[in-house]
């Protein structure tokens, strides 16, 4: 007689940006090992890769590769809540005490608010581009890279379509060299509009309150956790 197989519950989740409903199971010991090893490495890029591996294992019959980065982070935090506990401890750096304060948070309170944002950016009277938000696949492709060339590469990845007075073009249909030449021809105000688009990208957020002792007095402070790194600092 073999060892028994263990059944696991499944949970439903609505993806913030698309409102699609997906199912997932809690992560198991094998997935927890992946996350612990990533945390011990201290490398953010390794942790991004670990999150992707865990979600690929746990999400049922759904391709997560095209999820936006904030959808992915929201899903992972909900997965963690249903796998380990709704409660988690985070370290918040306080400017007054100049040290980290340990604070307990409830992951059920995490929000990802989607606001309407213009994705069409005009380059001139005849040409415009349509942007999309980066997904985790884009972030993985950028692992270990930084600087202007990386920023331009990310912009290239996130241009979905190009419109002119005659036709609609898919950016992915062009070579990297053609994409680079096109982006390098952008006017400065268009580049600023693209930066603004990325800066306004939705993020997972949670406002937390915590107490510190300063000069013999107890003081209540607030801090907004934003992005996956804040929740696992």
Q: What pLDDT, on the 0 to 100 scale, is given for residue 16?
A: 94
Token pair listed for 110: 């995490």
Is the pLDDT at 1 greater than 80? The verdict is no
Q: What pLDDT, on the 0 to 100 scale, is given for residue 140?
A: 67
Q: What pLDDT, on the 0 to 100 scale, is given for residue 189?
A: 93
What are the structural domain ranges in the chain? 11-113+203-231, 120-199
The overall average pLDDT reported for the chain is 90
Is the pLDDT at 224 greater than 70? The verdict is yes
**Global pTM value:** 0.84
Closest C-alpha to 28, from 49, 8, 1: 8
Q: With bands split at pLDDT 50, 70 and 90, how would you rate the model's confidence at 55?
A: very high
Tell me the average pLDDT across 163-174: 93
Tell me the average pLDDT across 17-28: 95
Q: What pLDDT, on the 0 to 100 scale, is given for residue 147?
A: 58
Is the pLDDT at 151 greater than 90? The verdict is no
Is the pLDDT at 185 greater than 70? The verdict is yes
Q: Considering Cα of 128, then 132, then 138, then 143, what sign does the dihedral take?
A: positive
Is the pLDDT at 162 greater than 90? The verdict is yes
Q: With bands split at pLDDT 50, 70 and 90, how would you rate the model's confidence at 208?
A: very high
Instruction: Render pLDDT for 95-147 as a digit per residue (tens, 0 to 9).
Output: 998 899 999 999 999 999 888 888 999 999 999 999 999 987 777 666 555 55
């Amino acid at each position: 007689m073999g060892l028994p197989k263990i059944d696991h519950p499944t949970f439903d989740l609505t993806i913030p940006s698309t409102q699609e409903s997906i199912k997932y199971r809690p992560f198991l010991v094998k997935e927890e090992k992946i996350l612990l090893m990533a945390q011990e490495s201290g490398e953010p890029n390794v942790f991004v890769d670990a999150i992707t591996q865990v979600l690929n294992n746990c999400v049922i019959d759904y391709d997560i590769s095209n999820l936006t980065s904030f959808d992915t982070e929201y899903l992972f935090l909900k997965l963690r809540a249903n796998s380990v506990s709704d409660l988690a401890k985070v370290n918040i750096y306080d400017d007054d005490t100049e040290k980290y304060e340990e604070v307990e948070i409830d992951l059920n309170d995490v929000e990802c608010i989607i606001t309407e944002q213009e994705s069409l950016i005009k380059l001139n009277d005849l040409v415009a581009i349509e942007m999309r938000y980066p997904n985790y696949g884009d972030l993985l492709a950028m692992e270990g890279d930084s600087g202007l060339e990386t920023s331009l590469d990310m912009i290239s990845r996130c241009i979905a379509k190009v419109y002119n007075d005659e036709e609609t073009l898919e950016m992915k249909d062009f070579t990297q060299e053609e994409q680079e030449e096109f982006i390098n021809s952008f006017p400065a105000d268009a580049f600023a509009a693209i930066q603004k688009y990325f800066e306004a990208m939705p993020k997972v957020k949670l406002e937390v309150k915590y107490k510190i002792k300063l000069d013999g007095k107890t003081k209540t402070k607030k801090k907004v956790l934003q992005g996956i790194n804040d929740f696992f600092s």
